[in-house]
Structure 1
Amino acid sequence: MTGIGTLPDTTEQADLREMVRDVISRYAPPERVRELDEASAFDLELYRALGEAGLIALDAQVDGSAGADPRNQIIVLEELAAGPTSMAVCLVVQYMGVGLLTEYGTELHRSTVLAPLLDGSERVSFALTEPDGGTDVARVMRTRARRTDEGGWILDGAKTWISGPQHAANLIVLARTSVSERSPIDGITMFLVPTDTPGITVRELDTFAIHSLDTCEVTFQGVKVDGTAVLGEVDRGFRQVLGTLNGERLNAAAAALGIARGALEAAVDYGRQRQVFGRPVGSFQVGQHRLVDGAIQIEAARALMLQAADATATGARVDILSAMAKVAASDAAVDITDAGMRLMGGSGFSKEYPMERLFRDARLYTFAPLTNEMLRNHIGEKHLGLPRSF
């Protein structure tokens, strides 16, 4: 690896980045990443190592007194995405869980769910998206939770495109609990539901990429939980999640940036070594300029990401910056993986090199956790003051 990229880290952040790279080199070398991708298998050994190293907790406290610093989360995610990309996607979800449990969890939630999440012994899965709704999920949410006479709840409905539920111990589920005339985002409650609760069915979907993390449909049929399953306030679950979704966009930007950087490093390494017509393939101007453009995109996306991370850490408004960072980083990942494939030709098409996997994995972040088109709509309306375009 060439180590491309300006890394404006503090000493502590540089140490953290080096720690992540050390864990990856020991537990997830390129050949293992390739094997697990081809086998569609999750790297449990790497996940546990990340937990043991404190890279899931990142100073978040079980008692809820402190959460993880987003400026540290993006370092972990970028480094993972440049190599074992599926694990970066997994940690985007885990970091959401850490944030929600830290802020809204009860003492019981924190001791039974947050504690094993922080040390890497368990995972959570976040169940929001539904078959009939993506961006407009609150408006069309069909998953319902109704109260029982005993003070508990019964959940019915279905979620889809859910990351990691097959091996997660708990699901964070959003379900409609009442109908609000004010706004579709009101009347939705967040629940913490063990995945082994009777009535839950998980079906894995066959996906194009991110093969080392399961993507599933989850069905709830008469799923009974007691009153302690509510995470936060009844009917305000979606509003509680909104701040976390801004953080998810920031972390998605970090993952996309890692993919972009990993692809650029792979292409540059190849361009220096591969000889054609008696000279390195990277010496030809068209291919070289594409890689230069990619390097520029990476640094522009990084600057936006760091601004968004600083804003998040200090409590400033972050929705515009996180949206810009996610769009810039995901566009960079798509453009650079395409440039890498073009430079490498048949070699890029081969599974012997990481480029074909990065090419596939990069496409996730053009539409997750929110489509780039919808983020551009948001930026146009809220940042530029243009009329609403949808």
Structure 2
Amino acid sequence: MFITDAVGAAADPIADTPERQALREAVRAIVRDVAPPERRLPLDTAEQFDDELHAHLAKLGATSIGAHPEQGGEGNALDQLVVLEELAAGPTSMAVFMVVHYMGIEILSAHGSREQRDTWLAPLSAGDATMSFCLTEAGGGTDIARAMRTTARCDGGGWVIDGEKTWISGATRSDVYVVLARSADVAGSAIDGITMFLVPADTPGITVRELPTVAVHGFDTCQVTFDGVRVADDAVVGEVGRGFRQVLSVLNRERVNAAAGAIGAGRAAVEYAAAYAAERPAFGSTVGSFQAVQHRLVDAMVALEGARGLLARAAHAEVAGGRADILSSMAKLAASEAAVKATTTGMEILGGAGFSLEYPMQQWWRDVRLWVFAPLNNDMVRNHIAEQGFGLPRSF
């Protein structure tokens, strides 16, 4: 990293222990050796998931970070951030995959039964299975609880799920889906009456259609249809009717993990642009000798490091058991917008080279746009900060 390279690893507010510094170096080495640009860019163009890289991460133990100890889990939020930042600095799609993976790990660790953890959390932690989180619908993104049309009705000794989810990551290759469906109408509450289910991907009645997207090509985005899908009572995760509240309890982690991904990709873009500018000849010197270019690189770096400081505060607050939702929202907001700024700067410094699929800048530039609206639109993030941080009236 440009900051730790200059002032030493002790300045890293996230990899703040020798163990986390070793984890950062290990993931960085895997990315360098297994997913260099000459290998990952063709995979991205072909829209293929990198199974080899996933296998190396599982062998390292990255897929088990945060899981319940009985299923081989270890580490905490800070360890996840280290993994995600280093992945996003290279194969960003794998970082997006791991954000989804870690959310599933946390849901099952916190709310899954012992049987559910043994059946699904154990292989997920070992890297032997993958999952998708089926929440969003075409009629509702941020307002999904109120707009949810997917239903689950009791039917004898089980449930029948009907409905359609969209913008679901990884559904073509997942082994199991975590599905949110409305199981009851609760007067005066949009978020109650929603139940969470574990649904094996091969259950009859499920249809998956991959959606074409502009970015994150190494991890598919899909529409998933549930037509009379039958599951047993033991498919319910946690409490009936409390599924959305259970999701809310893990959103803080998803925000900080998204922030880490944005920072990683933004950092890589700035480093790549600086190295390119130092070598690219222009007007008898190099592009990097021009003050305007230097200032833009510095501004991008400062924005990213400011976001990293917020991210570290949010993660440390969560690990310590304190309130982290405002800090995590601020970190996600700052990181995503800093990453957009950094990758735009990188594209413009590279010029025509940035427009080429043979260079990694265009991948970072495309991929970071995801985190401006996911896992929550930045305007809604601002609303949350204003309401919770300042005590101002709800603005929507």
- Which category of TM-score, normalised to the shorter sequence, fits these structures? over 0.9
**How much has 1:385 moved relative to structure 2?**
2.3
**How much has 1:311 moved relative to structure 2?**
1.2
* Structural mapping, 1:280-359, within 5 Å: 280-359=286-365
Q: Is contact 1:62-1:111 (8 Å) kept? A: no
Q: Which residue of 1 aligns with 2:190?
A: 184
CA distance in 2, matches of 1:384, 1:31: 48
The amino acid across from 1:275 in the alignment is P
Write the deviation string for residues 37-67 of structure 1: whole angstroms up to 9, x where unpaired: 0100000111111111101112633526966
Q: Which residue of 2 aligns with 1:5?
A: 3
Q: Which residue of 2 aligns with 1:175?
A: 181
230 and 83 in structure 1: CA distance in 2 versus 1, 3 angstrom threshold: same
Q: Is contact 2:71-2:122 (8 Å) kept? A: no
Q: Is contact 2:184-2:241 (8 Å) kept? A: yes
Unaligned 5+ segments in structure 1 are: none
Q: Which residue of 2 aligns with 1:204?
A: 210
Q: Is contact 1:105-1:232 (8 Å) kept? A: yes
Q: Which residue of 1 aligns with 2:117?
A: 110
364 and 282 in structure 1: CA distance in 2 versus 1, 3 angstrom threshold: same
The amino acid across from 1:4 in the alignment is F
**Sequence identity of aligned pairs in percent?**
55
The amino acid across from 1:171 in the alignment is Y
**What SS does the aligned partner of 2:107 have?**
helix
**What SS does the aligned partner of 1:155 have?**
strand
The amino acid across from 2:388 in the alignment is K
**How much has 1:337 moved relative to structure 2?**
0.7
The amino acid across from 2:78 in the alignment is R
The amino acid across from 1:341 in the alignment is M
The number of residues matched between the two structures is: 387
CA distance in 1, matches of 2:170, 2:94: 10
TM-score, reference length from structure 1 = 0.97
Q: Which residue of 1 aligns with 2:166?
A: 160
Q: Which residue of 1 aligns with 2:250?
A: 244
Q: Could you tell me which of 127, 134, 140 is aligned with 1:120? A: 127
Q: Is contact 2:73-2:125 (8 Å) kept? A: no
Q: Which residue of 2 aligns with 1:369?
A: 375
CA distance in 2, matches of 1:309, 1:62: 20
**How much has 1:271 moved relative to structure 2?**
0.9
CA distance in 1, matches of 2:247, 2:352: 44
CA distance in 2, matches of 1:59, 1:154: 31
Q: Could you tell me which of 19, 41, 45 is aligned with 1:38? A: 45
**How much has 1:164 moved relative to structure 2?**
0.4
TM-score, reference length from structure 2 = 0.95
Write the deviation string for residues 324-365 of structure 1: whole angstroms up to 9, x where unpaired: 000000001100111111111101111121111111001000
CA distance in 1, matches of 2:288, 2:315: 34
**How much has 1:5 moved relative to structure 2?**
3.1
Q: Is contact 2:152-2:162 (8 Å) kept? A: yes
Q: Which residue of 1 aligns with 2:269?
A: 263
**Root mean square deviation of aligned Cα:** 1.3
The amino acid across from 1:367 in the alignment is F
**What SS does the aligned partner of 1:139 have?**
helix
Q: Could you tell me which of 77, 80, 83 is aligned with 1:70? A: 77
Q: Is contact 2:252-2:325 (8 Å) kept? A: yes
CA distance in 1, matches of 2:161, 2:391: 40
The amino acid across from 1:76 in the alignment is V
* Structural mapping, 1:41-60, within 5 Å: 41-58=48-65, 60=67
The amino acid across from 1:155 in the alignment is I
CA distance in 2, matches of 1:145, 1:65: 32
**How much has 1:104 moved relative to structure 2?**
1.1
Q: Is contact 1:192-1:231 (8 Å) kept? A: yes
Write the deviation string for residues 265-304 of structure 1: whole angstroms up to 9, x where unpaired: 1111101111101111011111211110011001100000
**How much has 1:32 moved relative to structure 2?**
1.1
